[in-house]
Amino acid sequence: MIENAGWNTERIVRPALRPARTALAVNLRYSLALALLTITLLASTTGGAWARYASIIINAQTGQVLWEKNADDRNYPASLTKMMTLYMLFDSLEKGKTRMTSQMGVSSHAAAQAPSKLGLRPGSSLRVEDAIKALVTKSANDAAVVIAEYIGGDEATFAQMMTNQARRLGMTQTTFRNASGLPNPGQMSSARDMATLSIALQRNFPQYYHYFSLRAFDYNGTVIPTHNRVLLNYPGADGLKTGFIAASGFNLAASANRNGVRLVGVVFGGKTASWRDQHMMDLLDDGFRVAGGMARRGTPVPEDDDNARKAPKVAAAPEVTKPAVVAKVEKTSTQPKANAGGQTQLPNTLKNSWGIQIGAFSSLSIAQNQAATAASRIRSQAKSVQPAVTSAKSGASTLYRARVLGLSSEQTARSACNTLKGKEKSCVIIRPGATEMAYLP
């Protein structure tokens, strides 16, 4: 049942992932008024049968919350769980522990999962890339457990690994008990936490994020279409994930990019799939209108292009009081390298130092400016800092990661992150040895 589901029309904008309540803009469209009426009527007639409604809309570039309602309430994530299952698999791929062509064995436990599923047989195998596509499109529970057992040995161990990763990302309301999102009373999350995860997928794995925009895939001669109707019908949408169990209602995490602005939204507790989808599209419409108005008034929005597969320019970060994220970045070879497209082999003093990352950009010059600005803001507390930019492929495009290196310890890096977050900047901690080649001023 939804309590106090009405719209607050006061405009308040705060940094993302903070518990203070914020509101979407004034002048909501008539469609949203209808959505409100629907919520009110459903709340009065369905009693406790409808899972508690929650939603949040975040500008993934600036980290500003444009709308939230019950965003910190704990709810059942259902198949939004699979976003973390994929996060763990992407991390394994980036570290070189897994390949897209790797074959993963199918156990009796995996094969016995309830639908939705591929119908895998015990003793067979599933290719990693097919598993990714099956989770994104069909939300295949058997494929999710295959991934869990391949990485964690068993599903329970993998679920604990997922929970540990959630904590590292600042997802304080989230506990995982399985890899699929099938019913378990201990499997809980929040709209804010799922938005945090959505942005982390875009920020940390831009080279794999495009899978969330998959509309169908061919598995053994059968074309499997996506369940994500927002992806199919909303201009600028590029993923992420739908979810449903009876206890949760209809859930959705969505991302869309319009005119250089990327928004991430999460809805929990939809009464029907169609209501959830339309509600998300209405929320995104109003979010883009608010973000566009802020840009016209001079609120900084990093430059972007219309490539729907690009990751957000500046990702949202957890609130200052939460632990900063320690990035799981690809470690390159330790052998000396020649100059690569303007990048320079870093001296050991920088290569072996702690660092921070404040965003990923499609423009090298913007990334360099962002890195230089961040370095100047923290130089009073760390004299030897050095702005640097590394590059990473994102499909056919290149993303440039703005970093500041030369920090003496993890504590100093966390302090620097807190300073930047106070200025509404994103921040991710970079471990020593993770950066070997970079563009330097």
3-state SS, residue 23:
strand
Is 271 one of the annotated binding-site residues?
no
Q: Which of 168, 107, 100, 185 is nearest to 318 (CA)?
A: 168
**291, 66 in Cβ contact below 8 A?**
yes
Phi, psi of 188 (to 5 degrees): -135, 155
Question: Residue 298: beta bridge partners?
Answer: none
Contacts of 319 (CB under 8 A, 6+ apart): 15, 17, 18, 19, 170, 421
Residue 345 identity: Q
Q: Which of 201, 177, 306, 310 is nearest to 253 (CA)?
A: 201
DSSP assigned state of 320: T
Site of tokens 């982390």: 200
Q: How many CB atoms neighbour CB 62 within 10 A?
A: 27
Cα–Cα distance, 46 to 66 (Å, whole number): 29
**126, 104 in Cβ contact below 8 A?**
yes
The radius of gyration of the chain from alpha carbons, rounded to an integer in Å, stands at 21
Cα–Cα distance, 179 to 141 (Å, whole number): 8
- Terminal-residue alpha carbon distance, the chain: 56
Cα–Cα distance, 433 to 165 (Å, whole number): 21
- Classify residue 383 by burial, with Cβ atoms within 10 Å: 0-12, 13-18, 19+: exposed
Among residues 79, 180, 248, 394, which one is catalytic?
79
Among residues 55, 92, 116, 139, which one is catalytic?
139
Among residues 82, 310, 313, 421, which one is catalytic?
82
Site of tokens 């990714």: 132
**Two structure tokens written together for 20:** 């203070």
Q: Catalytic residue at 139?
A: yes
Q: Catalytic residue at 328?
A: no
Cα–Cα distance, 74 to 72 (Å, whole number): 6
3-state SS, residue 259:
coil
Q: Rounded to whole angstroms, what are the CA distances from 250 to 52, 80, 100, 135, 238? A: 11, 10, 31, 17, 19
Sheet containing strand 261-270, strands side by side: 14-15, 64-69, 54-59, 261-270, 249-258, 237-245
Q: Catalytic residue at 397?
A: no
**Two structure tokens written together for 168:** 């590292």
Q: What residues are annotated to the active site? A: 79, 82, 139
Specify binding-site residues. 241
Specify binding-site residues for substrate. 241
